[in-house]
Amino acid sequence: MDARYQPIQIEEKWQRIWENNKSFQVVEDPRKPKYYVLEMFPYPSGRIHMGHVRNYSIGDVVARYKRMRGYNVLHPMGWDAFGLPAENAAIERRIHPEKWTQENILYMKTQLKRMGLSYDWAREVATCQPEYYRWNQWIFLQFYKRGLAYKKSSSVNWCPSCETVLANEQVIEGLCWRCESAVVQKELDQWFFRITRYAEELLRDLEQLTGWPEKVLTMQRNWIGKSIGAEILFPLINRQESLRVFTTRPDTVFGATFLSLAVEHSMALELSRGTSQESAVGQFIDRFRQQNSAGRGAEEGEKEGIFTGAYCQNPFSQVPIPIYIANFVLMEYGTGAVMAVPAHDQRDFEFARKYGLPIQVVIQPEDRILKTEELSEAYVGEGTMVNSGAFNGLRNIEGKDRIAEHLEREGWGQKSVRYRLRDWGVSRQRYWGTPIPIVYCNRCGVVAVLEEQLPVRLPTDVPFTGRGGSPLRESKLFTQVQCPQCGDDARRETDTMDTFVDSSWYFLRFVSPSLMTAPFDVQQAKYWMAVDQYIGGVEHAVLHLLYARFFTKALRDIGLARVDEPFTNLLTQGMVCKETYRCVEHNWLLPSELAGSEKEGWQCPQCARPVEKGRVEKMSKSKKNIIDPEELINAYGADTARLFTLFAAPPEKDLEWSDQGVEGAYRFLTRLWRFISQHRATLVGAIADLKQLNGVREARNLQRMIHRTIKKVTDDIDGRFHFNTAIAAIMELFNALSAAAQGPTRLQDRPLIKAGTEAMITLLYPFVPHLMSELWESLEKTQRLEQIPWPEYWPEALEEEELLIVVQVNGKVRGKMTVSADVQQSQIEVNALADARVSAFIDGKKVQRIIYVPRRLVNIVLEG
RNA sequence: GCCCGGAUGGUGGAAUUGGUAGACACACGGGACUUAAAAUCCCGAGGACCGAAAGGUUCGUGCCGGUUCGAGUCCGGCUCCGGGCACCA
């Protein structure tokens, strides 16, 4: 055995062995329980970053642990390979997106392999391969057949910089999620997936996702945004039609003193026709349509509106009420028209005050009496209905139902449920994505490509200029086709699919990655699905996770998937952060370019001004606080990188990078190496029996510690994912074993130290697989470590012979005593009272009572 | 504004059900080895106070209050930090 720990050699050796033995390849095996662990697959940007290292280290611990527990573990990896950066590279560096992507995948794959991650690489998929994206197209056609995919003209979010449409979720505070330029509205024909058909089920099934973080469930719930209420028809005065509004507060309908329409409402201009308001209304509409496109959502502006000149009748109060157009009413939600109840809705209240509209209180709270004149804000709480005709005196909660029933009887409307969730716009005016399998024929109209003609491949004769719309339009080869129905010349759809489509079902493709006849095999999916543990960043809490849930349900209804939910358990890991350095003038600085020193204070290399040590921030290039995983591995090896990221913080919390912490992890591994090589002579040979009882007390204590560590590490890994405390416990065991191995003669119980060392190596294997495999082999075991089962603790060994009892007086610790485990409570109390320090505190006072917590503590409560 | 998290030594973090707060590690200090340094090994350590020392007292988990024999943990009211949503009728 080498005197020095040389991680690179060891790691290359074991990676080769695992690859040659196909150690992590799996097939369905009905005799074993299955376990599917999956980490969110990466976008092949070129290099892995610390976020990947952390994500995949966590997953690998779970995978290796579950294998040792006897599970048939599916642990695949692939590439989310379509997307904008590839196209940007094509524009900037004249390299084809496909070439760029393939090169990145190759490089990143070697990086991932150097991490020693236990993937079944035989199942690798890349979403940009025709073998993969043909099934995107196939699914699209199934959706199209069922009305789940449809086309509509709509105002969409348009990023002028990326020249592409963005989903609502991709617009963050009015800015493009990717390039942060201001998003504008544009009218385009778009393909949509009817996710709203599943809104109710997507909401309801959140309840069965008990293995998901509450935070993510809440975000999804809010995103779906279910509102229960009613639609009410307000008949127009002097016209035949009615205006339909949606409200969640039918109980306040008697307080509706005007109506507000969205600027885009179809009746907005129409209502003002022939009135004195007509031209003013027209101007108002033009102005706010513009404003909307300039940056909706940027901030909450002043409420503005205009009277249309028209009136309708409140069907309940029979009062004629004016109809306004208001800038804050959204066309996309509800019906684009709201009944305004200023007394009980803050927005309506502000609007009414501004335009001098009537305010009518119809709900009175319990504790005070509202008067219209005295209102300073809307009252939105519960109460009793007043000024509401036959409904007076009802609790408003009850009133909601009673009003809704009443209007259904009268034909004035009906109960209604609305969702904030919109249909998913999947069209992208881009090249590097899945072509939408649709053809436009002058004779037949919109025609689906025949399934046997799939895949519709991306053409190669496309120029990348970065200007104009979709590059696919430039390809004659691509756009000119024959109509699948009539055979006439036709034009191919040039939109490609949102890349979220690719990632919405990749976990299903992994169960049959090379199947040519279907996206995946139903039986294989039945065996492996659902994913037992999914691990990734919380940034996908809404988008990806909601779309994947939708796809799973839709594919189930098509007859392919057999599960309702794709991911049984979800772990959202925290970000990887590091401290930053910043100069007032020259902004972020690399730690390596700083002048000065930690003690004297850092200076800017350019202007020599003192540099402020900035906050701890998420690692990013722009903040110059990244650590390159490859450099880390070159310097310390993958085992150190893994150990540090797993030890520094629990997975769901943010991890603060620390170079000294990395050193510490490396030192620990070096100490282990030295320990084994030093004591190798007594540690080699067949696995020792962990259950051999030893008469010497110190040995029994060590044995107890070994078994306690096995239990602790098992509990920490399994379900709790507290890897940091699991590792801490192993470190404690190691400290105890080292002490025992060097200690006085009584502790030199060789078979026990040997058994403890073997247990320690096994326990550490999921975290530090290369080094542990090497150490295990050096101890001349017959089987490789990854074939060894997880150690079982022996409950009998956990039993304490002696207990440390804490003695409190009035809740404060005043003494400790060691007693034999079989001593009775009464005797312990007597001993406690007899303790010299304790009795000094009692000091003649009367003992009121004694609390005894079995095996732990005695609390003597004194009078007074 | 609304909804979720979070706050514990010099630092990252432990304390799983209300029962010794600070495991484990980093950084730090002292010592050993060395001509010296690095590496390694050993020892120490929450703050304040008392004591020559052994040891002891007392305060202490963001702030204020409560429940309890006992609160980092439970309850009420705040402060600050992070995240999500944001005119959704």
Nucleotide with the nearest C1' to A222 CA? B85
Residue A238 zone, left/alpha/beta (φ > 0; ψ -120 to 50; rest): left
Q: Where are the beta strands (DSSP E) in A194-257?
A: 226-235, 242-247
Burial of A796 (0-12, 13-18, 19+ CB in 10 A): exposed
Q: Which residues in window 706-745 of A are less than 7 A from strand B by Cβ? A: 712, 715-716, 720, 722, 724-725, 727-728, 731-732, 735, 738
Which tokens belong to A723?
């890897």
Amino acid at A272: S
Please say if the pLDDT value at position A366 is more than 90.
no
Report, in ranges, which bases of strand B sit under 7 Å from a protein C-beta: 3-5, 11-16, 19-21, 23-27, 39-42, 56-58, 69-71, 83-89
Please say if the pLDDT value at position A296 is more than 50.
no
N-terminal to C-terminal alpha carbon distance within chain A: 69
A249 touches strand B (CB under 7 A): yes
Phi, psi of A407 (to 5 degrees): -70, -30
Tell me what the mean pLDDT of segment A381-408 comes to.
91
Whether A591 contacts A599, CB under 8 Å: no
A812: Cβ–Cβ under 8 A, 6 or more apart, which residues?
Answer: none
Mapped onto helix, strand or coil, the DSSP state of residue A564 is coil
Tell me what the mean pLDDT of segment A78-107 comes to.
92
Please say if the pLDDT value at position A300 is more than 60.
no
Which tokens belong to A510?
């992994």
Q: Kindly compute the dihedral angle of the four CA atoms of residues A648, A654, A658, A661, in this order, to the nearest 10 degrees.
A: 0
The DSSP bridge partners found for residue A363 are A385
A22: Cβ–Cβ under 8 A, 6 or more apart, which residues?
Answer: A122
| A636-CA/B31-C1' distance, Å | 30
| A759-CA/B28-C1' distance, Å | 34
Residue nearest to nucleotide B57 (CA to C1'): A814
Nucleotide with the nearest C1' to A661 CA? B26
Tell me what the mean pLDDT of segment A373-387 comes to.
87
Count of beta carbons in the 10 Å neighbourhood of residue A797: 18
- The dihedral built from the CA positions of residue A77, A80, A81 and A86, taken in this order, carries a sign that is negative
Max mean pLDDT range (A110-114, A375-379, A853-857): A110-114
Whether A38 contacts A802, CB under 8 Å: no
Whether A274 contacts A286, CB under 8 Å: no
- Assign 3-class secondary structure to A366-425: CCCCCCHHHCCCCCCCCCEECCCHHHCCCEHHHHHHHHHHHHHHHCCEEEEEEECCCCEE
Count of beta carbons in the 10 Å neighbourhood of residue A600: 9
Whether A531 contacts A568, CB under 8 Å: yes
- How would residue A60 be classed by pLDDT, with cut points 50, 70 and 90? very high
Buried b (16+ CB within 10 A) or exposed e, A358-367: ebbbbbbeee
DSSP state of A321: E
Please say if the pLDDT value at position A22 is more than 80.
yes
A75-84, A106-115, A590-599: range with lowest mean pLDDT: A590-599
Residue nearest to nucleotide B26 (CA to C1'): A661
| A215-CA/B83-C1' distance, Å | 10
CA atoms within 13 A on the CB side of A255: 30
Give the span between the Cα atoms of A314 and A321, in whole angstroms: 7
A332 touches strand B (CB under 7 A): yes
Please say if the pLDDT value at position A745 is more than 60.
no
A339 touches strand B (CB under 7 A): yes
Burial of A210 (0-12, 13-18, 19+ CB in 10 A): exposed
DSSP state of A790: P
A238: Cβ–Cβ under 8 A, 6 or more apart, which residues?
Answer: none
Please say if the pLDDT value at position A293 is more than 60.
no
| A817-CA/B53-C1' distance, Å | 25
A685: Cβ–Cβ under 8 A, 6 or more apart, which residues?
Answer: A754, A779, A780
Whether A444 contacts A224, CB under 8 Å: no
Amino acid at A619: M
- The dihedral built from the CA positions of residue A227, A232, A236 and A237, taken in this order, carries a sign that is negative
Helix ranges (DSSP H) in A603-658: 629-636, 638-647
Burial of A95 (0-12, 13-18, 19+ CB in 10 A): middle
The DSSP bridge partners found for residue A537 are A573
Please say if the pLDDT value at position A192 is more than 90.
yes
Which tokens belong to A313?
């009748």
Write the DSSP string, A241-277: -EEEEEES-GGGGGG--EEEE-TT-TTTTGGGTTSTT
The DSSP bridge partners found for residue A573 are A537
Mean pLDDT, chain A, whole residue set: 89
Nucleotide with the nearest C1' to A538 CA? B83
Q: What is the pLDDT of residues A147-189, one digit of tens each?
A: 999 999 877 777 787 777 665 556 666 676 666 777 777 778 8
Q: What is the pLDDT of residues A207-228, one digit of tens each?
A: 889 899 888 998 899 899 999 9
Whether A511 contacts A529, CB under 8 Å: yes
Which tokens belong to A758?
């073997």
Nucleotide with the nearest C1' to A249 CA? B89
A814 touches strand B (CB under 7 A): yes
Q: What percent of chain A has pLDDT over 70?
A: 94
> Whole-prediction pTM value?
0.92
Please say if the pLDDT value at position A467 is more than 80.
no
Give the span between the Cα atoms of A578 and A382, in whole angstroms: 48
A413 touches strand B (CB under 7 A): no
Helix A723-742 and helix A659-683, axial crossing angle in degrees, nearest 10: 40
Q: What is the pLDDT of residues A753-764, one digit of tens each?
A: 999 999 999 999
pLDDT of residue A177: 64
Nucleotide with the nearest C1' to A618 CA? B82
| A598-CA/B34-C1' distance, Å | 29
A273: Cβ–Cβ under 8 A, 6 or more apart, which residues?
Answer: none
